[in-house]
Structure 1
Amino acid sequence: MEDTTRKTCYEGTAVQDFKLFRERSRELVVIVPCLREILHQEFNRTGSDKNILDVLGVGSGGGELDVPMLTVLHSKLPDILIRAEIVEGSNELTSHFKALISKTPNLQKIPFVWNSMRSEEYMSRVKATGDVKKFDFIHMIHMIYYVDDLAETISFYHSLLKDDGRLLILLSAEKNGWDTLWKTCQKDWINRYCSSGEVIACAKSLGLKYKELSIPNQFDITDCFDPSSQTGKGLLNFITAKDNFYESLTPEIRSGILDLLRHKCSTEKDGRVMFDSKLSCILIHA
């Protein structure tokens, strides 16, 4: 396995807040069946005539979604060599990814290339060296929010697709709770944000063919309204992208955000506050 070590993204307490969010939101439960269906459909069409399948994961985190996807591809295409390349800025999450692979016997023969860097660093390296590798399947799951230039990023990774390749972008759906929160607060403490609406508009402007699938989801954020709850604090840290919600923001801004979360981003059900976390899966054709 090849390894390139560079600066990281999620580390330390940010990783813990991310894991808490993943556990509470149950996103893996709703995302994995959708990804399985997409992979079955797409590689029924293109997989049978290949000897090698090249997969690129951008912002793969701890591999919780890469491992199920690679497992599906391996089971569906057992006679094809699958090669995986990963771009991930967090060393801590990459270590978790490697540990998952070690516990998944059918993936241990897949050769991996590990790039410990941000997407922008990977793009710059490829452009500088001219070493352009093409892929059958590229996925960007919950990472497009963090890129510096949306159009440049989509255009670049689309250019890395083989003739019949697919670029999968999974992110928050337009007008869900995240979209409402981040766009309302954008002037105060969020530098940039995008939802499925911006990605689709970008794909259209670039003249790319795509299809969109909706994934309904919601999760319980009632603990966020209890200042003594450690779970609530961790969720608020992740939701607001702040290391410490209560210390990083003024009382006025905190109050406004909590009101927004309760009344505009969520619905109440059986006395619980349920955050609207609807997802969008956008599949862009080569």
Structure 2
Amino acid sequence: MAEEAKTTCYDGGCVKSFQFYLQHSGEHQAIFQSLHNILPGEFKRIGLDKSSLDVLGVGSGGGEVDAQILTVLQSTLPAVPITADIVEGSSQLTDFKALVAKITNLQKIPFAWHLMSSENYEKQVKAKGDMKKFDFIQMVQMIYYVDNLAGTITFYRSLLKNNGRLMIIVEAAHSGWDILWKTYKKELAVDAITEYRSSAEVIAYLKSEGLKYEEHAIPNTFDITECFDPSSKTGEHLLDFMTAKNHFYQSFTPEIRAGILDLLRSKCSTEKDGKVIFNSNLSCIFVHA
């Protein structure tokens, strides 16, 4: 997240749109399934010979993914005490706290809550000069909202302990999102997201710095057939979220609308049994300390 004046998908009226999207896209389920396969091995490596583990979540929103990550960590290393710091600049941090209150195993973890943007957390840490170091840092679907990709990755990697990992989950290169937002950058990247990034930009930076990393695919697709029916409320709600606009049909000229819909059908999706299935693949990248 960039300055707090900017909105993310966890702010204000955007939350309902985001929750609607999650219900229709299955994105969180795809992430959860992949993390349950990938994380135990990572956590065993990270936790080797450690007497405790410190975790940092950045841009954690309502906390659903972080809760899954912490649960997997607890089940993988049940005897190792964990602390969790959470950085989230939106009011959804209260939802994360409420979620923790409902999950018994998470109540054993001491949480430190930082109600601020990623950039402000970075400024605060640097001003104090007393950096808490972490074994595992997760940045799930938030790298779009930071002003400086390279600076953000460099800073959070500097907070890793020996053998630590920074996990970045982001839309995959050549996914439907990547094609849509890069083709219509001028029209779409104007509000909260001013520079769209996929795994391509993250990996290009890691390679340019010679940093060690692993990439895991998180496959996901969802049905956007109703987006092509102008009378469908479901279709309109999906289009609103996918273009980060409150009213898709009022926000663009007829030519741009037609172009976006054509791109969604022809380049971002596949058609099967009369349905238009959007490529919503993600990428999970582990950056080494």
What is the TM-score of this pair, normalised by structure 2?
A: 0.92
Q: Quick one: distance in 2 between partners of 1:64 and 1:250?
A: 37
CA RMSD of aligned residues (A): 1.5
1:236/1:245 contact within 8 Å kept? yes
- Paired residue for 2:25? 25
| Alignment partner of 1:175 is 2:182 | no
- Paired residue for 2:36? 36
1:48/1:77 contact within 8 Å kept? no
- Paired residue for 2:126? 127
Q: Which runs of 5+ in 1 are unaligned?
A: 1-5
SS at match of 1:192: coil
Deviation at 1:24, TM superposition (A): 0.9
2:46/2:135 contact within 8 Å kept? no
Matches within 5 A, 1:100-139: 100-139=99-138
Matches within 5 A, 1:85-104: 85-91=85-91, 93-104=92-103
For these two proteins, the number of residue pairs brought into alignment is 280
Q: Quick one: distance in 2 between partners of 1:261 and 1:119?
A: 32
Deviation at 1:230, TM superposition (A): 2.0
Q: Quick one: distance in 2 between partners of 1:199 and 1:168?
A: 11
Deviation at 1:164, TM superposition (A): 0.8
1:236-275 Cα offsets, whole Å, 9 max, x none, are: 1111011221222222211211111111111111111110
SS at match of 1:131: coil
Deviation at 1:48, TM superposition (A): 4.2
Matches within 5 A, 1:1-286: 9=8, 10-91=10-91, 93-190=92-189, 191-286=194-289
Deviation at 1:189, TM superposition (A): 3.0
Q: Which runs of 5+ in 2 are unaligned?
A: none
Q: Quick one: distance in 1 between partners of 2:45 and 2:24?
A: 36
What is the TM-score of this pair, normalised by structure 1?
A: 0.93
Identity of aligned residues (%): 60
37-46 or 194-203: bigger deviation: 37-46
- Paired residue for 1:3? none
1:173/1:279 contact within 8 Å kept? yes
1:154-193 Cα offsets, whole Å, 9 max, x none, are: 1111000001100001111111101100110012331311
28-37 or 130-139: bigger deviation: 28-37
